[in-house]
């Protein structure tokens, strides 16, 4: 049996870091390989990513066009019929509260969309924000009902 104290890196896979700035005889003394003075020799020195020395950066030089619907898009939590079949008994009322309590969804306040993946073999009364067309067919075929809430 292997225990924590038996674990160690593979032979030759690790080495000691070179100790920089330990005097002129060390090979990396005095300036520690950073050259002389200047911003890049200082701790935390250098410029931020995307900085082009004061020139107008590429991201600001390129034209911005078009429209993005991201801010206005409706976001749904998705639940598959196969999951509902596993988590709920026949005749159960399935809504956001029931799904949250069954730990199928993470948030009560984000609307739910029911998708058709998996099989539904029970009649369930399902209330959700949206349904896929295929999911509606499967729910009705199993003898259940759907309602857009």
> Which domains, from first to last, does the chain contain?
74-148 (3.100.10.10)
- Convert 97-130 to b/e letters by CB count within 10 Å (16 or more is b): ebbbeeebbeeeeebbbbbbeeebebebebbbee
Q: What is the pLDDT of residue 26?
A: 84
CA-nearest of 148, 130, 118 to 76 is 130
pTM over 0.75: no
Tens-digit pLDDT profile for residues 98-119:
999 999 999 999 999 999 999 9
Tens-digit pLDDT profile for residues 69-97:
889 999 999 999 999 999 999 999 999 99
Tens-digit pLDDT profile for residues 35-58:
999 999 999 999 999 999 999 999
The yes-or-no verdict on residue 18 having pLDDT over 90 is no
The yes-or-no verdict on residue 24 having pLDDT over 90 is no
The yes-or-no verdict on residue 15 having pLDDT over 90 is yes
The yes-or-no verdict on residue 149 having pLDDT over 90 is no
The yes-or-no verdict on residue 134 having pLDDT over 90 is yes
Alpha carbon distance 137, 113 (integer Å): 15
| Predicted confidence band of residue 21 (pLDDT cuts 50, 70, 90) | confident
Average pLDDT over all residues of the chain: 94
Q: What is the pLDDT of residue 27?
A: 86
């Amino acid at each position: 049996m292997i225990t924590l104290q038996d674990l160690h890196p593979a032979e030759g896979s690790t080495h000691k870091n070179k100790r920089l700035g330990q005097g002129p005889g060390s090979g990396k003394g005095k300036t520690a390989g950073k050259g002389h003075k200047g911003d890049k020799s200082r701790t935390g020195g250098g410029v931020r990513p995307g900085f082009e020395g004061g020139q107008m950066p590429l991201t600001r030089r390129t034209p911005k066009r078009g429209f993005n619907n991201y801010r206005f898009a409706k976001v749904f939590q998705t639940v598959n019929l196969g999951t509902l079949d596993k988590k709920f008994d026949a005749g159960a009322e399935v809504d956001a509260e029931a799904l949250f309590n069954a730990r199928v969804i993470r948030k009560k306040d984000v609307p739910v969309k029911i998708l058709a993946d998996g099989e539904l073999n029970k009649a369930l009364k399902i209330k959700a924000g949206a349904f896929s067309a295929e999911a509606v067919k499967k729910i009705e075929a199993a003898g259940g009902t759907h309602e857009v809430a």
